[in-house]
Structure 1
Amino acid sequence: MPTLVGWHVELEFTEEGQRTSAAAMVRLGDGSEMRAHGYAMRHPSDPEQLRVGEEIAGARALMDLASQMLQKAHSEIDEATGRHSYPISH
């Protein structure tokens, strides 16, 4: 089955002291872009593990992107059908 569309997701991380920040951006097939941020804080007594902070901050940014994408999709469904659509919770 051929690929019809691809999405491009970018994640960038910064670390300042005990705080790791992630900036996420997705470029969708319709040309629209969505951006989100996620953060992680390391407790002063925890060992320094940059990868763990990146994973947590990145996951939070991606969860925010996922939420925005669901909202966009449901808005498009509502506009096309004239009805209010409801996301299914998992």
Structure 2
Amino acid sequence: MAHTWNVAIRLFDADDIERDGTLTAAHAVLTTSSGTSLEGHGRARRNPDDPQVREIGEELAAARALRDLADRLLRATSDDIAEIEHRPVHLHP
């Protein structure tokens, strides 16, 4: 039996956040096959002296959002196990 989980990443244009166009933000949402969802957030700030390459900021912000999402998923899993085991649980990344 296979289950499908989906991750959607929404990227925010820097102009929506800061007028100087140096910041990119990402919001990642994981939705499981049972309908549970978790969110992660990430940001990337471009050095004003660097050239404007939108894709680089988006990649970095998305990577940070996915890392945040992964950390939150590990914490949720740890909490679920701890509830079953009736003791604190720490999972290694």
- Cα distance between partner residues in 2 of 1:41 and 1:6: 33
TM, length-normalised to structure 2 = 0.86
Partner in structure 2 of residue 10 of structure 1 = 8
- Cα distance between partner residues in 1 of 2:82 and 2:5: 23
Aligned length: 87
Partner in structure 1 of residue 89 of structure 2 = 85
Q: Please show how residues 34-45 of structure 1 align to structure 2 within 5 Å.
A: 34-45=38-49
Structure 2, gaps ≥5 residues long: 15-20
- Residue 14 of structure 1: CA displacement? 1.4
TM, length-normalised to structure 1 = 0.88
- Cα distance between partner residues in 2 of 1:75 and 1:28: 17
- Cα distance between partner residues in 2 of 1:44 and 1:71: 36
Structure 1, gaps ≥5 residues long: none
- Cα distance between partner residues in 1 of 2:46 and 2:26: 14
1:67 aligns with 2:71: yes
Residue-by-residue CA offset, 1:38-63 (whole Å, 9 max, x unaligned): 11011111011111101100011001
- SS of corresponding position for 2:13: strand
Percent identity between the two aligned chains: 33
Q: Please show how residues 46-57 of structure 1 align to structure 2 within 5 Å.
A: 46-57=50-61
- Residue 6 of structure 1: CA displacement? 1.1
Q: Which runs of 4+ in 1 moved over 6 A?
A: none
Partner in structure 2 of residue 32 of structure 1 = 36
- Residue 30 of structure 1: CA displacement? 2.9
Aligned AA for 1:5?
H
